Amino acid sequence: MQNKKFVFQNVLMIILWSLLLNTNISAKGLPEHTTKVANGVYTFGDPAAGYISMFVVTKKGVIVVEPNNTAHSTAMLKAIKKVTKKPIKYLLHSHNHWDHSGGGQVFRDVGATIIAHAEAYEWMKANPHDDMVLPDESWAGNRKNIELDKRTIELYYFGMNHGLGMTVFRLPKDKIIFIADIVTPNRLLFTIVPDFNVKEWIRTLKEIEEMDFEKVIFTHGSPTVGTKKDIAGNREFIEDLQNAIYAEFQKGTNPFMIPNVVKVPKYEEWAMYDEWLTMNAWRLLLDGHMGPFPWRPDHPYEMNK
Ligand SMILES: [Zn+2]
């Protein structure tokens, strides 16, 4: 009897240790690189790789936002399967860029319908990539809803800001939004600020700040889940750097020297301050000098004959 009890205790210890040591299971019992933001709402992404996705689990299936690439999507599909046995119904793209729009085949293979905004769809069609598949469906205009079970995901298109067809996602019940690229908390603007129309970007951020939500999931940056304050913080950084550049002009600093000397000490603690400030300043300086770029008309127009 004594012996039996001893064996039982040993087996129990082994089970407990294996649970603790299993790297695929986090402290909360979630798969690796997976966090729960609300009931049925999860983020997935290896912080070292720098890309975060969202997946929403309902009784009728799963909605995935942001595939990024095949390696990321494969790992995410594994994680999703540990959370639920429900099928993946939709894969939603945030925008056109290759580094976000790759990996779709992983979810196509398990039967998901892939959806992107029409602008992103057209770009993807014109600019193929080995790791990117063309979505099954596209949507046009400023709004679309995806409904599954009793869940609604609202899709918002704000016009020009970054890339093409940039979509912000809102879960109205949970007051959560998902933002790719146009907000990265506590970090400078990405390198040379590629494919951003700064004026329209600021307008977009102000419009997002007016929306009804409490939490924001970001594709990049730390924290992964933030608040409205992080959105205002990014907008204020752009405005503060623009003002600092303008102040150098007023002082008579040689315009070609401004990116090397301009400072915004309020943001010294932000990630990549030393590395990217000069690049950020060049981009904003040229934008102020040449006018907003890239730019495109809102509506199709006819060429002069
Ligand atoms: Zn992008």
Q: What is the pLDDT of residues 113-170, one digit of tens each?
A: 999 999 999 999 999 999 999 999 999 999 999 999 999 999 999 999 999 999 999 9
Does the pLDDT of residue 5 top 90, yes or no? Answer: no
Does the pLDDT of residue 8 top 60, yes or no? Answer: no
Convert the pLDDT of each residue in 174-201 to its tens digit.
999 999 999 999 999 999 999 999 999 9
Would you give the distance in Å from CA 117 to the centre of its chain?
A: 15
- Which pLDDT belongs to residue 14? 46
Convert the pLDDT of each residue in 79-116 to its tens digit.
999 999 999 999 999 999 999 999 999 999 999 999 99
Does the pLDDT of residue 24 top 50, yes or no? Answer: no
CA of 55 to the centre of ligand 1 (A): 19
Region 240-266: mean pLDDT is 98
- Which pLDDT belongs to residue 141? 96
Closest CA to 298 of 212, 197, 187, 189: 197
CA of 115 to the centre of ligand 1 (A): 17
Cα–Cα distance measured from residue 34 to residue 76, given in angstroms and rounded to the nearest whole number = 8
CA of 189 to the centre of ligand 1 (A): 12
Helix 228-251 vs helix 273-290: angle between axes, to the nearest 10 degrees? 70
Helix 273-290 vs helix 198-209: angle between axes, to the nearest 10 degrees? 110
Among 25-34, 217-226, 264-273, the minimum mean pLDDT is found in 25-34
- Which pLDDT belongs to residue 2? 47
CA of 119 to the centre of ligand 1 (A): 13
CA of 6 to the centre of ligand 1 (A): 58
CA of 81 to the centre of ligand 1 (A): 28
CA of 276 to the centre of ligand 1 (A): 17
CA of 77 to the centre of ligand 1 (A): 22
CA of 162 to the centre of ligand 1 (A): 6
CA of 165 to the centre of ligand 1 (A): 10
- Which pLDDT belongs to residue 272? 97
Closest CA to 93 of 129, 131, 53, 59: 53
CA of 233 to the centre of ligand 1 (A): 19
Amino acid at 200: E
Task: Delineate the domains of the chain, giving CATH numbers in brackets.
Answer: 32-228 (3.60.15.10)
- Which pLDDT belongs to residue 1? 44
CA of 142 to the centre of ligand 1 (A): 19
CA of 141 to the centre of ligand 1 (A): 20
**Across the chain, what does the average pLDDT equal?**
92
**Residues lying with their CB under 5 A of ligand 1, a single-atom ion:** 97, 163, 181
- Which pLDDT belongs to residue 23? 40
CA of 98 to the centre of ligand 1 (A): 8
Burial class (CB in 10 A: 0-12, 13-18, 19+), 38: middle
Convert the pLDDT of each residue in 241-251 to its tens digit.
999 999 999 99
The residue that leads in pLDDT, 301 or 30, is 30
CA of 163 to the centre of ligand 1 (A): 6
CA of 67 to the centre of ligand 1 (A): 13
Q: Global pTM?
A: 0.89
